[in-house]
Homo-oligomer: A and B are copies of this chain.
Amino acid sequence: MYGMVLARYKIAPEVKTSGMFGMRPLVLFTSDESHYSFVKAANWLGLGSYNCVSVRTNERGQMLLDDLEAKIAEAKARGGEPFFVNCTAGTTVLGAFDDINGAADVTERHGLWLHVDACLGGAALLSAKNRSLIAGLERANSFSWNPHKTIGAPLQCSLFLTRESGRLLERCNSTEAHYLFQQDKFYDVSYDTGNKSVQCGRKIDAFKFWLMLKARGYGKYGLMVDHAIHIARLLEGKLRQRGDRFRLVIPEHEYSNVCFWFIPKAMRVSSEEETPEWWSRLYTVAPKIKEQMAHSGTLMIGYSPLKAKNLGNFFRMVFTCFPILKSKELDFILDEIERLGEKIVL
């Protein structure tokens, strides 16, 4: 929302400053596997949900740049004014990273604001080994990152950075509420955030992140991020080793997400018997196993469908810096899914 509000203010400051009714027909673009908050923001900000245009993705979950170009042309053809493109660095479900450099070529050509939603995958910035996942970030107009995700800052802790100059955040958001944000203080007020943010009373969430970096340093967190990604790849290997009992949703994930199905004994059939009915039944397996997990108290693993790919429920494990998992704990997880999974009634 911050990125969208800034982008809108930059090209259409009249929403803040003039007495006119209505708004220019602004249109934004984000992939069909990106976070729901873009649709929600389009609704809240009065752009209209419909003007949050969904761009198709490839098999790995990355935004298709050809489709982005096509959707921009379509929006213009129906009278819209494209203004904002979001790239996701770490999609919620598959952990996919969009091609930021490719998207930046498009946004620079069309004069659009480029935002990078690195809420999940921003932690890769800490890692020398995995930083290349977010190559091109320096070309974005703004980016967001939640250290409360991969590196485990206490909820909530979100960064929003913009490389726009000219105090855009302040000009966009200030309401000149001098009864709360006094300018006549005896010290430098330029770091005061009240005039720059949408919230009023809030905690100093940034302090948690600052303290974490002071305590462990970038390098240590980078190694922990690398370990989380390593463990994800290790789980993929173990899933493959277990043969027809498990199946990966995509062959290899890019980040610390691993998405997979468990196939109970009663459902293990040859591939030609995998009818639409068989798949529908498979989509009920993960919720039923999760119910068993909740009752037995041994595991807590989320499940998810993937609407953009017309896929129903599968397990979605996302590894983070804490706890630091070992190989044998992955075996326990898979053993336990098998144990609970053979108990369920289909």
Contact = CB atoms under 8 A, between A and B. Distances in A.
Contact of A203 (B1, B93, B156): B156
B43 A44 contact: no
Nearest to A199: B156
A304 B180 contact: yes
Interface in A190-234: 198-203
A287 B189 CA distance: 14
Given A21-B79, A49-B17, A40 B198 contact: yes
A92 B179 contact: yes
A272 B47 CA distance: 56
A273 interface: no
Contacts of A294: 186
Contacts of A180: 36, 92, 304
Interface size band for A: 35 or more
Contacts of A7: none
Contact of A19 (B40, B50, B182): B50
B20 A48 contact: yes
Taken together, the copies of this chain in the complex come to: 2
Interface stretch (A129-137, A170-178, A323-331): A170-178
Nearest to A295: B186
A156 B201 contact: yes
B182 A18 contact: no
A30 interface: no
A220 to B, nearest CB: 24
Given A92-B180, A186-B287, A48 B200 contact: no
Contacts of A17: 49-50
A71 interface: no
A291 to B, nearest CB: 4
Interface string A293-319: 010000000011111000001000000
A150 interface: no
A45 interface: yes
Contacts of A93: 179
Interface string A275-292: 000000000100100010
B304 A37 contact: no
B182 A50 contact: no
A5 interface: yes
Contacts of A177: 36
B36 A175 contact: yes
B155 A44 contact: no
B43 A15 contact: yes
16 contacts: A14-B48, A15-B43, A36-B175, A40-B173, A40-B198, A44-B198, A45-B45, A146-B201, A155-B202, A155-B203, A156-B203, A182-B287, A182-B303, A182-B313, A185-B291, A186-B294
Given A37-B200, A179-B306, 8 more contacts: A1-B44, A16-B48, A21-B25, A36-B200, A155-B202, A182-B304, A184-B284, A186-B287
Interface of A: 1, 5, 8, 14-23, 25, 35-37, 39-40, 43-51, 79-80, 92-93, 146, 148-149, 155-156, 172-173, 175-180, 182, 184-186, 198-203, 284, 287, 291, 294, 303-307, 313
